[in-house]
Chains A and B, each alone.
Chain A
Amino acid sequence: MAITREEVLHVARLARLSMSPAEADKMREQLDNILAYIRQLDRLDTADVVPTSHAVEMGTPFRDDSVHPFEEKEEILKNAPDREGDFFRVPRIIED
């Protein structure tokens, strides 16, 4: 089951990566090779295996739900590509 160019473009949209048709073709070929290799996992029967999401067993850590204000707001905002006062400024959200 080879990956198609349409699938590549669909995934690129999901990942918010603009991609030219030529780039999509190259990406399709590379992903196809990598996915073909990865599919060797299909040979393993894992029906009764419990998945691992974390390698070191530990409980869920809890902490108090308390506010710790970060005092240096300007240190954060100065990194903004565009701002208006204390807000991040972005292009229009509702496109025509």
Chain B
Amino acid sequence: MHEWTLLDAAKAVRDKEISSRELTRALLSRIERINPKINAYVTVLPEAAMREAAARDEEIARGIVRGPLHGVPVAIKDIFCTKGIRTTCASRILKDFDPPYDATVVERIRSAGAVLLGKQNMDEFAMGSSTEMSCFGPVLNPWATDRIPGGSSGGTAAAVAAGTCFAGVGTDTGGSIRQPASLCGVVGMKPTYGRVSRYGMIAFASSLDQGGPIARTVPDAAAVLSVIAGYDRRDSTSVDVPVPDYVAATERGVKGMRVGLPREYFAEGVDDSVRTAVTKALTSLISLGAEAVEISLPHTGYALSTYYIIAPAEASSNLARYDGVRYGYRAAGAKGLIEMMSRTRAEGFGEEVKRRVMIGTYALSAGYYDAYYGKAQKVRTLLRRDFNEAFDHVDVILTPTAPTPAFRVGEKVDDPLTMYLSDIYTIPANLAGIPGISVPCGMSPDGLPIGAQLLGKHFDEESLLAAAAVIEREIPLPRVAPLEG
């Protein structure tokens, strides 16, 4: 039953065809067999999950259905605070952190009835594109375990692809949901900035971070989005707009939809297998009544530079709180406060995190602020303007999610700039605050998954779900990686 869709599993529980305990037990035993091969979970909660499942079953017996995820086992990236359950961000500096409260995302999936199986591995503080930068060791791609799963939500994407949860929630600052979804052959959506509350989601770059669903089908992702989206007064950037019926949007079709093809995204550097698969996705949209429109997003080539100023700058400020005073790791034996803090951070942070804290501190330091951070904020305006102008002519934009299928473990780990380039197609959406989704659209000759990315207008997640659902229905692909336990 691990290969069922989330919506089918939820229906089976509601219809009393299966108990939440049976479902939960089956997935826990699958985690036990499969997880050692891929390292997707950092914390598994067998007792708590079985307790929750029993409570959900009792409710069903009394005719109570909490919400659309009632009794369904799911899991979340270890970046969301969970009360009484360690929350690490895959960092040594937070290894024993036990949050005093639940993130809004966690509250919402619990009140929708979901059972929490555990917490998933990630790049430390969500900084990375391969999930190799974790203090718990790398996650491996379930389709080919000599490959990375993408990142930073690589644990969540790999766990979903391996059938060890029905869906998960990740976070996306520059592609961290969409890129691993693409590389693991699952669906991942970054909603509009402000759509999902960031309360209790450990901050990386606050003006870019956004939580979103990872699932095996588009309707499953829509169901999770419906649960986690919505206004939250505890996040001052949360936007108070109504949450539509996202699952219904997946049935809308694409008749008359104008699909923009930005020429900058199909230039050099795209792997042939990716180009072929994305072209197939386009053909499927056209065959169901969509219209292709060539467009230009002229500042695309500047997005990566802009991102690698803004994200590290915000990160260097957000990560200043890890000083060994109130929680987390503290270096032993320091004689004074400054020495304690400096050694705590040097010992507690991994290399990539240090690199970004350094870039950000440099870009914000006296004499460089205008040349770097100020400049990047202005280019960010130009990137937003590109999208605004494009959306005068098109409803959605279709691109590859990543330039290549999954690369090999270790291949880019010593070359930060090359690693950064794997997010080149996903970063612009974060800078512009627009929603994006990655949906599987093919396989490489080596049997590695390939995703197509759809980008949309602010708060128009529905068009993305409608188009992604068409691609999914037209291009049937295996949903669960053939990992044998």
Contact = CB atoms under 8 A, between A and B. Distances in A.
A17 B375 contact: no
A2 interface: no
Contacts of A42: 375
Interface string A1-22: 0010001100111111111000
A88 B327 CA distance: 9
B278 interface: no
Interface string B357-383: 111011001000000101111111110
Contact of A56 (B193, B299, B354): B193
A47 to B, nearest CB: 9
Interface stretch (B126-134, B137-145, B334-342): B334-342
B381 A51 contact: yes
Nearest to A26: B351
Contact of B377 (A7, A44, A53, A93): A53
Given A76-B100, A91-B336, A81 B378 contact: no
A40 B302 contact: yes
Given A8-B358, A17-B342, A56-B193, A49 B325 contact: no
Interface string B301-339: 110111011000000100010011111111000111111
Interface majority SS (helix, strand, loop, mixed), chain A: loop
B233 interface: yes
A55 B358 contact: no
B384 A63 contact: no
B26 interface: no
Contacts of A53: 207, 377
B340 A91 contact: yes
Interface string B337-352: 1111111011001000
A40 to B, nearest CB: 5
Contacts of A38: 305, 308-309, 372
B346 A17 contact: yes
Interface string A29-58: 011011101111110101001111111101
A52 B379 CA distance: 8
Interface residues of B toward A: which range? 35 or more
A37 B336 contact: no
Contact of A51 (B98, B100, B320, B377): B377
A11, A72, A92 — which one has the most chain B CB atoms within 10 A of its CB? A11
A44 B328 CA distance: 42
B329 A37 contact: no
Contacts of A11: 358, 361-362, 365
A92 to B, nearest CB: 6
B10 interface: no
Contact of B382 (A8, A13, A46, A63): A46
Given A44-B382, A81-B328, A54 B237 contact: yes
Contacts of B302: 40-41, 44
B362 A3 contact: yes
B327 A90 contact: no
Interface of B: 83, 96-98, 100, 192-194, 207, 233, 236-237, 239, 299, 301-302, 304-306, 308-309, 316, 320, 323-330, 334-343, 345-346, 349, 354-355, 357-359, 361-362, 365, 372, 374-382, 384, 416-417, 420, 430-434, 458
Interface of A: 3, 7-8, 11-19, 27, 30-31, 33-35, 37-42, 44, 46, 49-56, 58, 61, 63, 70, 72, 75-76, 78-82, 88, 90-96
10 contacts: A34-B416, A41-B309, A44-B379, A46-B375, A50-B378, A54-B207, A55-B193, A55-B434, A61-B233, A81-B325
